[in-house]
Amino acid sequence: MTDLIGHRFARPELLQQALTHRSAGAPHNERLEFLGDALVNLIVAEALYTYWPKADEGALTRARAELVRESALAPIARTLDLGPRLTLGPGEMKSGGHRRDSILADALEAVIAAIYLDSDFPTCRAAVMPWFESAIAALPPPNKVGKDAKTRLQEWLQARQKPLPIYALLGETGEDHAKSFQVSCTLNQPPLVAEGVGSSRRAAEQAAAEAALNQLLER
């Protein structure tokens, strides 16, 4: 665990608490989550302030919101392999809580707070920043941040007087609490078909639109 998160705990009980969901009883991670939420917002805000020296407050705020939302934090938690290490109550264990985005995102915030309490802010920032560097580098230009992929694709097509895309559900797999949806995005002009996968149909459509945009911009 310490190798994955980049911090060796002097007080390992802090890490254990950070990975304990309230369903498992006290001490759980809700207070740590509260502190971690503030810390991750500060760390990401500071990074964006440096990364985009000319961006206005609105663009910085939208970019931060993109980077610290639940659906952005949960994949980081999975990369750090937090899910299998969570301590959950029997009900959450049976319902697959270790795979749920909300629980994973909360645990990640709690881990950030645990690192901070175990050390100091510079140490915490040094451990946490690598988790966000690729996502920050992949952000669209400041004036495009906050527009989802379907909106950006629609605007790209409308600006060129092209027909709007057609989305179709190709299939869904998995149990009710962990479904995966596959969607296609078809363009007539220029002719193009892209696919996307997500935990909801909406998320899959966004992924398909993003894939279509990437293909268009590569041409």
Active site residues: 37, 109
Q: Do the Cβ atoms of 39 and 24 come closer than 8 Å?
A: no
Give me the residue label for tokens 């440096």.
50
Binding site: residue ranges? 33, 106, 109
3-state secondary structure of 110: helix
DSSP 23-60: GG-SS-SHHHHHHHHHHHHHHHHHHHHHH-TT--HHHH
Binding site for Mg(2+): residue ranges? 33, 106, 109
List the Cα angle 53/37/41 in 5-degree steps.
Answer: 5
